[in-house]
Every structure is written in structure tokens, then in C-alpha cells.
């Protein structure tokens, strides 16, 4: 099972000794729908309240489960409103700065100058931190 949401929920259910039906009854989900979610045939619920209920019942970190479902938790909303925070997080996760505008490169040999050299590679500490942050977000 490669889907991080399904893996986390399945492991949580197993750890808690819950069957699909008993779990769905407790969190008020349709077992047929949720079975398809766990098998990767349907997307996880999109409602944050439902995701938080699932996380709570399975003793999982709510923000982590919400992110694994492809959503942004309410407590991370500052990312939407704080441009500097967004750019810092994006750079940490992707290793690319989103602050620079995209420039089209001229064809090879046309208009290239010394200033168009490739940027220096990132320091090893930054790459290690980016990997660590990526794992935390997933």
C-alpha cells in the first residue's frame, strides 16, 4: 500500500484492533466508501472535521493525517497569508526558490553571458534539512 493516508489509517486501525465496519460506525463513515479509500480506488474524505475525527479515534496526529490526505490543516493557514513563510517553506521542501521570476532560456549559444551560469549546489546541511522536512510533511 503506497498511499500514505491509507497506510496510516490501516496501521492505526490494526493497532487499535478495529475492523472496517466497527471503525466506520465510530467515526460515522460509509464502510463501502471507506473500503474504496483504503484500497486506493477513491480519494480520502475532504472535510477537515472528518479527517480530525479519524485521527482522533486512531490516536494519530491530525495535521499529519490531513496532509497525507492532500489537504492543508487549518492551523497551517498562515502559509496562505504570509508570503515570506510560503516562500521559505516552498524552498525548504523543493530546494528551489519561488521568489525569482521564471525566465525563458535563450537557445544554446545565443545571448548567454557569464551571469547565466548555473547556481552553486546547496550546502549538504540544507539538503539534509530539506529531506527531513519533506518526511515531516508526509
- Residue 107: give the domain boundaries: 78-137
Clarify whether residues 10 and 49 are in a common domain.
yes
The answer for residues whose C-beta is within 8 angstroms of residue 133's C-beta and 6 or more apart is 92, 93
Helix or strand holding residue 23 (H, E): helix 20-27
C-alpha cell at 38: 483504503
pLDDT value for 81: 86
The C-alpha atoms of residue 70 and residue 62 are separated, in whole angstroms, by 13
| pTM score of the predicted model | 0.65
Same domain, 92 and 37: no
Same domain, yes or no, for 82 and 31?
Answer: no
- Flag whether pLDDT at 120 surpasses 90: no
Nearest residue to 86 (alpha-carbon basis) of 95, 98, 75: 98
Say which CATH number the domain at 67 has: 1.10.260.40
Task: List pLDDT tens digits, range 24-83.
Answer: 999 999 999 999 999 999 999 999 999 999 999 999 999 999 999 999 999 988 887 888
Q: Which of 110, 91, 108 is nearest to 100 (CA)?
A: 91
Amino acid at each position: 500500500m503506497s498511499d500514505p493516508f491509507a497506510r496510516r489509517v490501516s496501521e492505526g486501525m490494526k493497532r487499535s484492533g478495529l475492523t472496517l465496519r466497527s471503525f466506520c460506525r465510530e467515526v460515522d463513515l460509509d464502510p463501502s466508501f471507506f473500503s474504496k479509500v483504503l484500497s486506493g480506488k477513491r480519494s480520502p474524505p475532504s472535510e477537515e472535521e472528518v479527517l480530525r475525527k479519524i485521527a482522533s479515534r486512531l490516536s494519530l496526529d491530525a495535521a499529519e493525517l490531513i496532509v497525507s490526505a492532500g489537504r492543508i490543516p487549518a492551523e497551517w493557514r498562515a502559509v496562505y497569508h504570509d508570503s515570506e513563510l510560503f516562500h521559505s517553506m516552498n524552498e525548504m521542501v523543493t530546494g528551489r526558490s519561488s521568489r525569482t521570476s521564471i525566465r525563458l532560456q535563450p537557445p544554446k549559444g545565443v545571448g548567454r553571458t557569464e551571469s547565466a551560469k548555473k547556481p552553486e549546489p546547496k550546502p549538504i546541511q540544507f539538503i539534509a534539512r530539506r529531506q527531513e522536512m519533506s518526511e515531516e510533511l508526509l
